[in-house]
């Protein structure tokens, strides 16, 4: 069945992304009933287990210096190399809860305010990747982020940088909300368990809608049905 813009598809897993201008999301544990009732996996970007991810990890740990534009493209390439696996899991009905994604890449690079590396440039490499059904943005002031354990261990973790990243996320939210995803701001103050409960509650709608079927997988950044490699061919589902 065809709509004007999308091919209406069968039930699939939901794709839920959460992030924050701080490193807090890396320590978040989702402990909420709606996510426990479905097959779900936790993903994190960058995936530091791949060859590209190893280079990114060295950069983030400050053991390797790289050009800002090259680093941005490496982060994007890391997402592209996981695209096929991500689509296969969604087609199987697996809900993917993803810590950081293309939105984070755009925010952190744009926050550097380098000439020629504005929002349009930052978005371009990820065009055609799947957009999440919902973005859960964990809103935490930089001053509060500094109080979290491990703050400052990786590159970008300074109050000044995170303030700029927070502003960049505001611009991204205004651009994508209602276009290719649904942007939900979540209060990230409180304990890890408390924030996990809020995130789980906010994810409920996306998880239930995808499980019922009829929800198109949209593309970054225009919200079209132009996701590269979707829908999967039958032979691709068996890989």
Interval 7-66: pLDDT, tens: 334 578 999 988 876 555 545 555 444 555 678 898 999 999 999 999 999 999 999 999
pLDDT < 70: residue spans in the chain: 1-10, 21-37, 142, 145-146, 148-154, 239
Which tokens go with 191? Answer: 């304990």
pLDDT of residue 1: 35
- Which is it for strands 15-19 and 95-99: parallel, antiparallel or unpaired? parallel
Strands (E), the chain: 15-19, 40-44, 95-99, 134-139, 182-187
> Taking the model in full, what pTM does it have?
0.84
Place of tokens 């611009």: 171
Structural domains in the chain, CATH included, are: 15-237 (3.40.50.300)
Place of tokens 């982060």: 75
pLDDT of residue 5: 36
């Amino acid at each position: 069945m065809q709509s004007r813009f999308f091919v209406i598809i069968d039930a699939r897993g939901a794709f839920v992304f959460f992030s924050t201008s701080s490193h807090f999301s890396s320590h978040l544990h989702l402990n909420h009933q709606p996510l426990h009732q479905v097959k779900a996996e936790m993903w994190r970007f960058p995936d530091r287990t791949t060859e590209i991810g190893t280079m990114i990890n060295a950069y983030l740990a400050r053991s390797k210096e790289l050009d800002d534009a090259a680093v941005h493209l490496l982060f994007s390439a890391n997402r592209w190399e996981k695209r096929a696996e991500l689509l296969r899991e969604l087609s199987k009905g697996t809900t993917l809860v993803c810590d950081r994604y293309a939105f984070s890449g755009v925010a952190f690079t744009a926050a550097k305010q380098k000439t020629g590396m504005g929002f349009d440039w930052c978005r371009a490499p990820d065009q055609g990747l799947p957009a999440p059904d919902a973005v859960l943005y964990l809103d935490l002031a930089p001053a509060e982020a500094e109080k979290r354990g491990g703050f400052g261990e990786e590159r970008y973790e300074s109050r000044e940088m995170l303030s700029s990243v927070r502003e960049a996320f505001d611009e991204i939210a205004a651009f994508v909300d209602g276009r290719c995803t649904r942007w939900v701001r979540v209060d990230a103050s409180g304990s890890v368990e408390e924030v996990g409960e809020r995130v789980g509650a906010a994810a409920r709608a996306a998880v239930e809608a995808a499980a019922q079927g009829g929800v198109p997988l949209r593309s970054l950044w225009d919200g079209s049905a132009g996701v590269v490699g979707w829908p999967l061919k039958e032979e691709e589902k068996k890989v």
